[in-house]
Amino acid sequence: MNENATREAAERALTEGHTFLETRDHEQALESFRRAADLYGQIGDRTRQAEGLYTAGGIFALLDRTDEALAAFSGVIDLLREGAEPRRRAMAWTNKGLILVRQQRFQDALGCFEEARALFQQGDEPIRVAEQWGNIGSVYRDLEQPDHALENYQQALAIYRELGHTERTADQCTNIAYTRFMQQDHADALRWYREALSLYTAAGSESKLRFTAENVERLEAVLGES
């Protein structure tokens, strides 16, 4: 095929992939997106090749095929290493980090979230920057390093407060509360859970509200408060 015909075939493969995704035919969607990536690679369109690989990586992650997901997201990062599509590259770093957390490869995950945070900072995306602070905090919590976890959760909290994002602010209050509970400071954990409860109420987040209320009740019982 000449370049135009190859590009047309790649576009058809992408379209087919999205159609298969809509019908939840994940195996056929994977085949289509991987074919699209291969065809774009043949004509040297690295940006569109990365698009196909990125979507394939998401499907692999959904199917819990973590090694293949890692390979796909790493491929995206390599394809875009010269600075093209910094946001997609940042998202690939984020997704790679999340997969590594799932595999309990926590130190490797930290590096991914740091890379993603730097790229989102360059792109002036404070919500995404805060997400990475939160991701890093959770990795440190998994590593049983609560002081480092708290430092990062506080960074995320400050951004969400400044942006007025009520539910995400509450999420970080919950993270801090749980970490303080890990440190056996039940009184401070209760304080943070109460703030989260108030914020979830304001945001109308029913499922999170119920869960947080249960934690408040448990800690109040432990501390003899009401």
Q: Where in the chain is the domain with CATH 1.25.40.10?
A: 1-87, 146-226
Q: What is the pLDDT along the chain (226 residues), one digit of tens a residue?
A: 688 899 999 999 999 999 999 999 999 999 999 999 999 999 999 999 999 999 999 999 999 999 999 999 999 999 998 777 899 999 999 999 999 999 999 999 999 999 999 999 998 899 999 999 999 999 999 999 999 999 999 999 999 999 999 999 999 999 999 999 999 999 999 999 999 999 999 999 998 999 999 999 999 998 987 5
CB atoms within 10 A of CB 121: 14
**What angle separates helix 166-182 from helix 206-223, to the nearest 10 degrees?**
30
* pTM for this entry: 0.91
Q: How many of the other CB atoms lie within 10 Å of CB of 64?
A: 9
Q: CATH homologous superfamily for 1-87?
A: Tetratricopeptide repeat domain (1.25.40.10)
Return the beta strands (E) in the chain as ranges: none
Positive or negative torsion for Cα 162, 120, 49, 26:
negative
Assign a CATH topology to domain 146-226: 1.25.40
